[in-house]
Amino acid sequence: MMTGLGPLLASLAAMDIAALTRKLKRNAIFYAFVLLFLLTAYGLAVAALAVYLAGIWGPPIALLAVAGGALLLALILYLCVVIANGAEQRRKREAAASNSSKALMMTAALTALPLLVKSRPLLLVAVVGGLGFLAAKSMSTSNRRYSEPAE
């Protein structure tokens, strides 16, 4: 039964891959044309702005104004990317620190587990302490939900 299923699955996979490659090629061509027309429209809009400003301020000042506006927009976009990357790096560092402290706590808990299992009073204290910790943590997260502003 499995000998007849193998070639069938291979042919289905080949058909899906062929359809996928055709779709990717088609989309790449269409997106290339869209990009070409968008860049043409952008270039013509900048040229029209330069011609309009040249009628008001003169050609050299108009070109400097258009170049300065483009430079200002590029600087603003660059700063947005730098700020977003910095925030992402900070979140990654905080997550890594949180994960490493959780791993350390789990290692300590697993190391102390044999001692707790042997002693009934210590096991009871550990269970009560764990439940208290979970209760305190759930209360702090439920309070935080209402105290922090929504994003």
106 inside domain? no
List, run by run, the mean pLDDT of 10-residue segments along the chain (151 residues): 65 72 91 96 95 94 94 95 94 82 75 72 78 79 54 49
34 inside domain? yes
84 inside domain? no
Residue 119: the pLDDT is 73
119 inside domain? no
Residue 14: the pLDDT is 67
31 inside domain? yes
Q: Is the pTM of this model over 0.75?
A: no
Number of domains in the chain: 1
Residue 116: the pLDDT is 66
70 inside domain? no
23 inside domain? yes
8 A C-beta contact, residue 66 and residue 46 = yes
- For the chain, helix, strand, coil in percent to 5 are 95, 0, 5
25 inside domain? yes
8 A C-beta contact, residue 49 and residue 57 = no
Expressed as residue numbers, the domain containing 46 is: 16-57
What is the distance in angstroms between the CA of the first residue and the CA of the last residue of the chain? Answer: 56
Q: How many CA atoms lie within 13 A of 116 on its CB side?
A: 14
8 A C-beta contact, residue 62 and residue 54 = yes
Residue 78: the pLDDT is 95
Residue 150: the pLDDT is 52
